[in-house]
Structure 1
Amino acid sequence: MVQAWYMDDSDDDPRRPHRAEPDRPVDLEQLRRLGVLYWKLDADKFESDPELEKIRRERSYSWMDIITISRDTLPNYEEKIKTFYEEHLHLDEEIRYVLEGSGYFDVRDAEDKWIRIFMEKGDLITLPAGIYHRFTLDEQNYVKAMRLFAGEPKWTAYNRPADHFEARGRYLAFLLQTA
């Protein structure tokens, strides 16, 4: 099952776990109240997995591709990693399914504190439109992930502050309903 926890305030290497002291774990229900959805799937059969197909059908995820993030495979690796780690939001859901390797998605809670979500092989996550988040690899420096979209892919990230977007307003209203 996915591991998530509140982060410390260290500016040290973002690829490290950064667990708060004392440890403050976050469970799936807390993530759900933030609009973050999670599934554990069998990544070895992603090409023919009926569970993945069911999720894609139910959530209208019609487009997908696979990205490998490593020094050897991603052009402008260092620049891209820094960009992924800048706090931002999207106007649509962000859906990622880890097929190999591992990394971290960090999301802001309702009090604007960082929660770190450790993603490894078989983890599928959906971040709601309008949530502030960021991504980084862990110390393995490698992840292969499926990117899913409802409709045509939209790659635009809006760095914080981006509170003027309608998607952010809808997300904040959602948080008030789940509080």
Structure 2
Amino acid sequence: MRAYYFDNLSGDQRLPHDCVPSRPVDPETLKSIKVEAWTIPVTPGYEEELDAVAKERNYRNRDVIEISKEGLGDEYEQKLKGFYKEHIHEDEEIRYILEGGGFFDVRQAPSDEWIRLAVSAGDLLVIPAGIYHRFTVDERNLTRTTRLFKDEPKWSAIYRGPESDANPHRIDYLKSIAAAA
């Protein structure tokens, strides 16, 4: 995984949008906003490592989702727009990339800058509950991902606005990063 500040220029969301010159983001910065990432190569035996992460974090369910034109058909572009609209979740979002790649953008608080996380096969990413973020595939137009869940598989977004700013999970997240600073 590669982390860097998003250039905020208009254009295709599936492009890298890296600043010129690039502004890399170090692991300590990600840690300060509670984003975790590591690599588990997609090789025989990766399931055991993924199972260990799931057990450690009390995840009981998982599914595999393929975001591609072939997999989603006519809904592809609409789904991408929904994933790319800035939102929070009330649970942490944990994703393991099996194939393809994409970009998770997370808001750095308190600056409100976008940090872009370029992910590809083998990357495992944990995005905390309450952080503003969004997702898009890259130019390959394919991401096959294992999603881990504490309970039943679901994807429930709360889009940015007054409701999300007042959400208890958002407030708790902001308190947690202030306490860590």
Q: Give the TM-score band, short-chain normalised.
A: over 0.9
Alignment match, 2:125: 125
CA distance in 1, matches of 2:36, 2:125: 6
TM-score by length of 2: 0.94
Alignment match, 1:11: 10
Q: Does 1:164 align with 2:166?
A: yes
Shift in Å, 1:129: 0.2
Return structure 1 stretches of 4+ with deviation > 4 angstroms.
Answer: none
Consecutive unaligned residues of structure 1, counting only runs of 5 or more, are: none
Give, as a single letter, the amino acid of the residue that structure 2 aligns with 1:178. Answer: A
TM-score by length of 1: 0.95
Shift in Å, 1:9: 1.6
**Which runs of structure 2 are paired with 1:43-54 in the superposition (5 Å)?**
43-45=42-44, 49-54=47-52
Choose from 55, 58, 83 the match for 2:56: 58
Give, as a single letter, the amino acid of the residue that structure 1 aligns with 2:103. Answer: Y
Give, as a single letter, the amino acid of the residue that structure 1 aligns with 2:146. Answer: M
The count of aligned residue pairs is 177
Alignment match, 2:136: 136
CA distance in 1, matches of 2:52, 2:98: 18
**Which runs of structure 2 are paired with 1:8-157 in the superposition (5 Å)?**
8-45=7-44, 49-75=47-73, 76-110=75-109, 111-157=111-157
Consecutive unaligned residues of structure 2, counting only runs of 5 or more, are: none
CA distance in 2, matches of 1:55, 1:107: 22
Q: Percent identity?
A: 47
